[in-house]
Amino acid sequence: MLSDLNEGERAKEWVIRARLVDPDNINLHYNLACSMAALKEVDMALDTLSEIAGLLSPGMVSWMESDNDFDPIREEPRFKSIVEQVKARLGKAQRPA
């Protein structure tokens, strides 16, 4: 909500707090990354996504690829790398041994 109100500095402070308070909440981190992308806080958005990349489900990575909240960072090499790493991990997990 703070990012929607152009309260960028307050939003960044709350993102830092939320990541510390609930580090295992994938949905929270995903939404925090969306907010930071909207504020064009590229590094913070990508850092947040990186933290949950190993936990993303196939559905979440599919959603991430089409989520227009990530349009401001979609062409960033690091964003593309995160998506590819998640896809590679999921591809390996789905292959028979």
24-46 residue pLDDT tens: 889 889 988 998 898 888 999 99
pTM: 0.79
- Domains of the chain as residue ranges with CATH: 8-94 (1.25.40)
- Burial level of 79, CB count in 10 A (0-12/13-18/19+)? buried
- DSSP annotation of 95 reads S
Element (H, E) at 46: helix 42-52
Is the model's pLDDT at 48 over the cut of 70? Answer: yes
